[in-house]
Amino acid sequence: MGLAVGLFAEEAAYCGIPSDFTYGDAASGIVDTPHNLGSTGGTISNDETDVCIFCHTPHHGGSGMPLWNRQSTAASFKAYGTTLAGTYVADNGVGAASLACLSCHDGVTSFDTLVNAPGKGGGTPVDMGWTFTIDGNTVSDVLTSVTAVIGTDLRNDHPVSIPYKEKVASLRARNTVISTIEMTAGTLTASLGSDASSTTATSNRWSVKGFISSDATIDDILRDGKVECSSCHDPHFKNTSWDEVDSTWGGPTEVTGLFLRRVGGNSVSGVCRTCHNK
Ligand code: HEC
Ligand code: HEC
Ligand code: HEC
Ligand code: HEC
């Protein structure tokens, strides 16, 4: 009885049971996450219902990313620098795939400076002058929450725009098929806690190219041969499979699993151990 009540209370905290996404499922759900900045996401002050517009446009797009509708961040970044193995990322070496995320997560650039405005836009970046309410706080149009702001100093973050070399940092071969990587060999599987009831800890399923993929390799999550924000995160994937994070994340009520690509999020450090054979 005590156990049953405990389990119930834990589940009630995130209002739902973690989903166990399976191969072939679309990595969808952005409309019900904080990445829906439009009125149907509940953050914007007006009735702009478009979802994709904050990042993409069908025409007159900007450069760097697919059909990109965002002004590039104007911030200058401090990159990670030199790793123990001697791999170096220069300050001006932060690549387009990470700058795309940092064009909101730098805490400097506004959400609503769009390259192509809704309707008849023109391809010249314009600040739409919209305001947003995130987590009950009116934040105008820049990110303020401490956890969500990665900032402009990337020295305290996992290296991004870093080339994926083999034979350093216990990195697996680039052609390793992600789904074949064994996650729980040698662990006390009896201690998996709430993960034990699902296969989110024991198997290694990732969202790649918009689907939970059985045959994607590590190469497929690299961008231009490098690790970028989007190697670990899929900004469209409402990943409701990581129960661990839901009770600790002080952010919005939507459960996103922090947009991690891995089903089960970083349970058993599965995100880290997919690349690092530690
Ligand atoms: C918060 C920003 C953001 C929003 C909002 C967003 N996207 Fe994306 N999208 C990206 C980024 C960044 C990439 C490149 C990701 C990568 O490298 O994997 C991307 C890539 C894509 C791709 C190609 C890769 C893939 O995963 O399939 C498609 C298709 C796509 N987006 C469609 C959409 C549609 C449709 C919407 C609206 C329903 C949308 N996106 C909303 C940021 C966003
Ligand atoms: C158009 C602006 C925008 C872009 C571009 C953007 N984000 Fe976000 N992101 C947000 C907002 C707004 C939130 C909610 C922040 C908050 O709750 O304070 C958020 C939240 C998140 C969260 C926390 C999820 C949660 O449960 O609250 C993660 C992780 C994240 N973003 C990663 C990314 C990554 C990785 C990229 C690039 C692939 C990206 N974002 C691009 C606006 C953006
Ligand atoms: C090597 C994998 C990896 C890369 C690369 C990566 N992240 Fe993350 N990110 C994670 C993991 C794992 C978590 C959840 C752990 C945690 O809470 O810190 C996370 C959490 C977050 C969060 C939630 C805040 C937090 O710390 O809990 C945000 C926002 C975020 N990432 C944005 C980004 C952005 C923007 C980039 C690129 C500059 C990026 N991430 C690159 C793995 C990564
Ligand atoms: C997409 C592949 C990938 C994932 C996922 C990944 N890493 Fe890495 N990691 C790398 C690469 C590439 C390097 C750079 C290795 C080098 O050349 O020194 C690196 C470097 C590191 C370093 C060494 C930095 C230094 O200064 O030497 C640490 C520590 C690390 N990662 C921890 C983690 C942790 C913890 C996670 C999970 C949250 C993680 N990694 C997930 C690819 C990855």
Per residue in 41-57, pLDDT tens?
Answer: 988 989 999 999 999 99
What are the tens digits of pLDDT across the range 75-89? 999 999 999 999 999
161 lines ligand 4 (CB under 6 A): no
Please tell me if the CB atom of residue 52 comes closer than 6 angstroms to any atom of ligand 1. yes
Handedness of CA 107, 112, 116, 122 (dihedral sign): negative
Interval 113-125 mean pLDDT: 86
Average pLDDT, the chain: 87
pLDDT of amino acid 18: 58
The rounded Å distance from CA 52 to ligand 1 centre is: 8
Distance between Cα 220 and ligand 2 center (Å): 22
* 230 CB within 6 A, ligand 1: yes
Backbone phi, psi, residue 212, to 5°: -75, 115
- Token pair, residue 249, equals 């994340």
Q: Which residue has the higher pLDDT, 127 or 190?
A: 127
Round to whole Å and give the CA distance between 257 and 253.
11
The CA 242 to ligand 3 mean position distance, Å, reads 14
Task: Name the more confident of 163 and 64.
Answer: 163
Residue 57 CB contacts under 8 Å (≥ 6 apart), including other chains: 67, 68, 69, 114, 115, 116, 121
pLDDT number for residue 255: 76
- Residue 260 Cα to ligand 3 midpoint, Å, equals 8
Percent of the chain with pLDDT over 90: 65
Q: State yes or no: pLDDT of 9 exceeds 50.
A: no
The protein residue whose alpha carbon is closest to atom 37 in ligand 1 is 52
The pLDDT assigned to 50 comes to 95
Q: 66 versus 145: which is more confidently predicted?
A: 66
Q: Is 232 in the pocket of ligand 4 (CB under 6 A)?
A: yes
Taking the CB of residue 174, how many other CB atoms lie within 10 A of it? 16
pLDDT at 13 over 60: no
- The band of 194, judged by pLDDT with boundaries at 50, 70 and 90, is low
Does residue 193 or residue 180 have the better pLDDT? 180
> Is 262 in contact with 206 (CB distance < 8 Å)?
yes
- 108 contact partners, CB below 8 Å, separation of at least 6: 73, 74, 75, 142, 152
> By the 8 A CB rule, do 90 and 161 touch?
no
Provide the residue ranges of all domains of the chain, joining segments of one domain with +.
Answer: 7-275
CA 275, CA 30: separation in Å to the nearest integer?
26
The atom number, within ligand 2, closest to the CA of 43 reads: 12
Q: Is 70 exceeded by the pLDDT of residue 6?
A: no
What is the CA(148)–ligand 3 centre distance, in A? 9
Q: How far apart are CA 11 and CA 5, in angstroms?
A: 10
**Reported confidence tier of residue 197, pLDDT bands at 50, 70, 90:** low
Q: Is the CB of 276 under 6 A from ligand 3?
A: no
